[in-house]
Chain A
Amino acid sequence: MSAADVGTQSSAVSPPGPPVVRPRSRFGRRPVTRRVPAGVWLLLIVPLLVELAWVFWPAFNSFQLSFTKWSGVGVAEPVGLKNYQTLLSDPIFHTAIQNNVIWIIAFGGLSVVIGLALAVALNQPRRGVGIYRSAIYLPMVFSLAVTGLFWRVLYQPDGPINAVLAAIGIDTGQHQWLADPNTALAAILIAAIWRQAGYIMVLYLAGLKGCDPSLEEAAAVDGATWWQRFRYIVFPQLRNVNTVIFAVTVIDSLRTFDIVWTMTRGGPYNSTQLLSTYMYQVGFTQVNLGYGSAIAVVIFLLAIAFIITYLVRATREE
């Protein structure tokens, strides 16, 4: 959206009439250090240093740590690739990877589909639509930890969810949603999507506002069905929003931690462990920082793989 704005602005500002002198020909090929004012360099270098000190340096340390055995006390003992070898045969790590894949697909897919459907449904000017929009967005206001605690209460065996299901005739036998390894991950997913869908909805609503209504009207006049109008007229105009949402969703899926931690702590017996929760457990509960760092590196590599594919695609399209 903002990129589109900048685009239209710059084209509006670009000089009308014949370009008299282009900047490059006036200054010739001067080195970039002199072409950019010193003040700008300063503004670039300060954040770069902050970034290096607070992001890259700790990250680099984490990489180094992953090749050691360290309990936080004394000298880290180098062990080469042993942590990574252990990962390969660690059943909990396998569960965590598997759960993360399920998580990215289900959390990403469902929250986008539901968010888009809500946005399309609530994009029409109707009475009270604002109330619906804010109500659906409201869960986003709570922190994930609060969401987790709240849903934990709902999922209790004698809690509201089982009561409601019983009232409409579905006897769950006081099913223990979070204590049953078969339902625990799905139960957490529902809570996470409940929170995320409103956020995605707001992003899509903003995107829909930027769509040109005359195009849709023209298509309607030409006899396009609702679905055709959505698929071929509206959706292509949402491309910029889609890329933002893709990035947001991947980031949010990979960094999911709080909601799982507050609802199950990765239990029952590690069946809801994600890479992030397992890393936390290994690194901070067991204080096995070398092995924890190895898991962190895996998370990093996954994230970077997603992001590089995304960046390559985005730049190619431009």
Chain B
Amino acid sequence: MKPAPLPAAALTRRSLLLGGAALGGSFLLSGCIGGTPSPAASSGAGNTSTTLTLQSSLSDPKPKAALEALVKGYTKQPVTLNTVAIEQFRAQLPTYLTSANPPDVLTWYAGSVARDYASKGLLLDLSDLWTGDGACAKFSPALKSLSSDDSGKQIFIPTSYYWWSIFYRKSAFAEWGVKPATSWDDFMALLDRLKGKGIAPLTNGTGSTAWMASGWFDYLDLRINGAAFHRELLAGKHSFDSAEVRKVMDTYATLVPYFDPKGRSYSWQEAATPLVNKKAGMYLIGAFVTQAFPSSAVNDLDFFSVPAINPAVPSAEEAPTDGFFASAKSKNVTGAKDLLSYLAAPPQQQSYVEASGSSNLPTSPEVDTSHFSPLVQKGVKLLQDTKEITQFFNRDSSDALQTTADTALTKFLDHPGDVAKILKDWQAAAKQVWNS
């Protein structure tokens, strides 16, 4: 560059400095995603005392449309529905709840997550909806205790749940001449038979959805050590490096050779494809698997519960429960409760279950289930007959603990022989989560 006249030089230097500041600034921006959101500035639409805000994480097309239809049908007061992608919702939820002007009603999960927020005084006490002629008064006691916080108040309104089981295609089992297993020995024999026919006995999507590896972990722990131990383990009262967990992992290791190895690259949706194409035999997954099935094959889908391993352990099933809670700082408490009552009422539950496309179960016993599919009716019965209900690894603990499980379990699936070190590392990582 040629030397420019002085004022221009000054300008260059200044613009260089400014440019440098802007450049540095853009780095600050890229580095500061974890910054403090100012409490007042966040949280969706400006809700006055008359307009209610419903913050929803149901961003999949069908559930989203189903909730939109319900909100449209609610005419008592204006409601603003904000649908946020689930990942963002999860990250923003603390901000929503602590902001000065929070959404009144929010979708989320029952169990330890809701309890955690309740213990910080962020959730509205909804006990009156659970007594007398409240919307949830007739819900099962199991749901009531699930929706209660540590002090016994109800802070959650469950509106639908689903079950986990081993899903298979009836026509495929008929072709192969095999039957669902009723005992653990049966199950192992079934795995051997399918493998002998050149079929991958089990499919799983532990690639981009690594949490799927926890499905088998949860169930084996429920069958070997029981639901009480499982809950305590996830609450940090036992070590992952204990003899009990080691036993679970040893059983898990006997299953590893039967998994379709390609599942390590799949998401849960992709892992359903071998099941649809009859290249894989069975899939331990939640009832939401029907979303990944072509409609022509959904009626061919059946399931059986993970067989008992130790008959002395009471039966238990995973039944993650979805629903709503309300913010303690809602400016329109009666309005929020009225909206919750509306959403929990039998007709709304029924239309949501039908429109959302996943095989969710209604929580209200008054919903007429007679024209639900046989699969869903069988699911209802499974959960009615079981002694214990758990949620799922992350819902019974925390999303932070789930990441430690994802690392430990996917590593274990690749290297079952390293179990001792994996459990030691898992416990160390879990300890950090509990202490942080």
Interface residues of A (CB under 8 A from B): 3-4, 7, 10-11, 14, 22-24, 44, 51, 54-56, 58-59, 61-62, 64-65, 69, 71-74, 76, 86, 152, 155-158, 174, 176-179, 247, 251, 254-255, 263-265, 267-270, 279-281, 283-289, 291-293, 296-297, 299-300, 303-304, 307, 311, 315, 318
Contacts and interface: CB of A to CB of B under 8 A. Distances in A.
A255 B406 CA distance: 25
Interface string B9-37: 00000001010111111111111111110
Interface in B204-223: 207-208, 210
B269 interface: no
Contact of B436 (A10, A177, A247, A288): A288
Interface stretch (B92-100, B308-316, B367-375): B92-100
A304 B207 contact: no
B410 interface: yes
Nearest to A247: B23
Contact of B31 (A24, A303, A318): A303
B27 A303 contact: yes
A267 B210 contact: yes
B190 to A, nearest CB: 25
A58 B264 CA distance: 39
Contact of A279 (B34, B87, B97, B265): B34
11 contacts: A23-B7, A58-B32, A64-B36, A72-B94, A267-B207, A267-B407, A269-B407, A269-B408, A269-B410, A279-B34, A288-B400
A246 to B, nearest CB: 12
A129 B32 CA distance: 43
B243 interface: no
Nearest to B10: A32
Contacts of A255: 30
B98 A268 contact: no
Interface in B263-297: 264-266, 270
B142 interface: no
Most buried by B among A23, A179, A288: A179
B36 A58 contact: yes
A279 B400 contact: no
B34 A7 contact: no
B8 A10 contact: yes
Contacts of B97: 73
B403 interface: yes
Contact of B24 (A269, A297, A307): A307
Most buried by A among B18, B93, B122, B207: B207
Contacts of B398: 286
A297 B31 contact: yes
Given A156-B265, A267-B406, A62 B120 contact: no
Nearest to B7: A23
Given A73-B120, A284-B90, A299 B30 contact: yes
